[in-house]
Amino acid sequence: MSPWRSVVTVEELNALSAGTLGERLGMRFTEIGVDYLRGTMIVDGNLQPFGLLHGGASVALAETLGSMAGWLCVDRERYACVGQEINANHLRPVRVGAVTGTARPVYLGGRSQVWSIEIVDDRSRLTCVSRLTLAVVPASPRKSGAAH
């Protein structure tokens, strides 16, 4: 059974990400499955000084995927999802190409959600596993003319 409360396209998700950190890091949503959200991030430009994909970039990808997936699971007129805790285990270095993350729900409650995010390299080797906890909070009304 799908956790999604509404139907959106990856094109709509990518449009929502314009001007965000995800766009700066080269992230793109690529697939919305029955129970997962998938996206990619380029490695080039996201390296640490030793030539490896920066762990913070992997965490940013994990949080982006999990947060957007959480947002798709709530009544967006009434609720928002905000990051409460994230952890990551970096398992394999990545130097080139792109990585792909897949977010799947572990727990979808009325006040919190837990997401598991697995990130793989271009050869489908697991590079990072992450767990994200989101708080489900009342949505704030948007102010007229406010930046999105």
Residue 147 pLDDT class (50, 70, 90 cuts):
very low
Residues identified as active-site: 63
Q: pLDDT per residue over 5-15, tens digit each? A: 988 999 999 99
Which one of 3.10.129.10, 3.50.40.10, 3.90.870.10, 3.40.50.300 gives the CATH number of domain 10-138?
Answer: 3.10.129.10
Select from 76, 85, 101 the least CA-distant residue to 26: 101
Select from 101, 83, 85, 87 the least CA-distant residue to 46: 101
Where are the chain's structural domains? 10-138
